[in-house]
């Protein structure tokens, strides 16, 4: 299934994309795509519905983030071997973990706002993993049982805040609008192998990122098990798993976002995003 949320910010309704690409309303069955709705048994009930009989949503409504009620937005740094190489960094012996504020989460096509005093606002196409069942001290053998599905994430980053100033990366990752998420949550049963997904990102029609999850250092199965040793993962939590090469920081000379730019990105089978960039 491709689950989604549509409508004005703060008033989103639950829905899904049917097999013919039509947007269908799920309000008669669930209140939101969040919490217990992401449990395996709940997803099974939604899958069993006659999707073609659900109310069709007219027009082309705004899409919100594909999951609501995210308690933790966990990001993994330098998790692609080819991205680490372009930045001159060494692949870490354990995953680099940092948090992105949940207030950064927006819809997949919402505007990106460059923060005040920002100098180096950058892009990162990433595979998002949405937790569907609480994971605590899980092993790699059963880690995937706790994954509800996958989505596209643009891990927008202000490099000057992230690296040129003191402290942790979080402040360079957490500005409002820095977490476009969606367009839909593709349930795990429709993604046979999350480690074989082509991904790309363009700015103003120029393709900067053209990679694949095949070059991830630490895969989804490992990350879910690893993170669960340090914190419980709960339904709706998101793991943003890192980015392939081609970020603005890695260009020679570096290229950063500016007002008026248009960012488009996608992952095969998970949909596409499009954002206009403005000054915040």
Whether 164 shows a pLDDT value over 80: the answer reads no
Whether 57 shows a pLDDT value over 90: the answer reads yes
Whether 81 shows a pLDDT value over 80: the answer reads no
For the whole model, what pTM was predicted?
0.96
Q: Are 23 and 52 contacting, i.e. CB atoms less than 8 angstroms apart?
A: no
Task: List the domains of the chain with CATH numbers.
Answer: 67-279 (3.90.850.10)
Question: What is the distance between the alpha carbons of residues 229 and 223, in angstroms, rounded to a whole number?
Answer: 10
Q: How far is C-alpha 129 from the chain's CA centre?
A: 7
Q: Are 235 and 133 contacting, i.e. CB atoms less than 8 angstroms apart?
A: yes
199-246 pLDDT tens trace: 999 999 999 999 999 999 999 999 999 999 999 999 999 999 999 999
Residue 163 pLDDT level (bands cut at 50, 70, 90)? confident
Q: What is the mean pLDDT of residues 260-274?
A: 98
Q: What is the mean pLDDT of residues 173-201?
A: 97
Q: What is the pLDDT of residue 84?
A: 63
DSSP string of 50-89? -GGGSPBPPS-PPB--SSB----EEEEES-BHHHHHHHTP
Whether 167 shows a pLDDT value over 80: the answer reads no
Residues contacting 248, CB < 8 A, separation 6+ = 120, 122, 123, 159, 203, 208, 254, 255, 256, 257
Q: What is the pLDDT of residue 83?
A: 66
Question: What is the distance between the alpha carbons of residues 162 and 193, in angstroms, rounded to a whole number?
Answer: 32
Specify the DSSP class assigned to residue 252: S
Question: What is the distance between the alpha carbons of residues 187 and 34, in angstroms, rounded to a whole number?
Answer: 13
83-128 pLDDT tens trace: 666 767 677 899 999 999 999 999 999 999 999 999 999 999 999 9
- Name the phi and psi angles at 160, rounded to 5: -65, -40
- For 11, the 3-state DSSP assignment is coil
């Amino acid at each position: 299934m491709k689950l989604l949320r549509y409508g004005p910010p703060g008033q989103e309704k639950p829905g899904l994309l049917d097999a013919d690409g039509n947007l269908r309303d799920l309000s008669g069955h669930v209140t939101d795509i969040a919490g217990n709705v992401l449990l395996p048994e709940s997803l099974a009930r939604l899958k069993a519905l006659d999707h073609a009989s659900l109310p069709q949503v007219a027009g082309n409504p705004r899409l919100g983030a594909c999951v609501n009620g995210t308690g933790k937005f966990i990001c993994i740094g330098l998790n692609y071997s080819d991205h680490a190489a372009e930045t001159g960094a060494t692949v870490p012996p354990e995953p680099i973990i940092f948090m992105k504020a949940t207030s950064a989460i927006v819809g997949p096509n919402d505007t990106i706002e460059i923060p005040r005093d920002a100098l180096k606002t950058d892009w990162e196409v990433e595979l998002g993993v949405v937790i569907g069942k609480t994971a605590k001290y899980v092993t790699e053998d059963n880690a995937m049982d706790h994954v509800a599905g996958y989505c596209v994430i643009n891990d927008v980053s202000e490099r000057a805040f992230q690296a040129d100033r003191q402290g942790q990366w979080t402040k360079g990752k957490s500005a409002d609008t820095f977490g476009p998420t969606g367009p839909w949550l593709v349930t795990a049963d429709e993604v046979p192998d999350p480690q074989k997904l082509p991904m790309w990102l363009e700015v103003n029609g120029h393709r900067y990122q053209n990679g694949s999850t095949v070059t991830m250092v630490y895969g989804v199965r490992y990350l879910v098990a690893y993170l669960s040793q340090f914190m419980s993962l709960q339904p709706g939590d998101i793991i943003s798993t890192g980015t392939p090469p081609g970020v603005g920081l890695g260009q020679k000379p570096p290229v950063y976002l500016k007002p008026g730019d248009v960012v488009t990105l996608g992952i095969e089978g998970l949909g596409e995003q499009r954002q206009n960039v403005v000054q915040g």
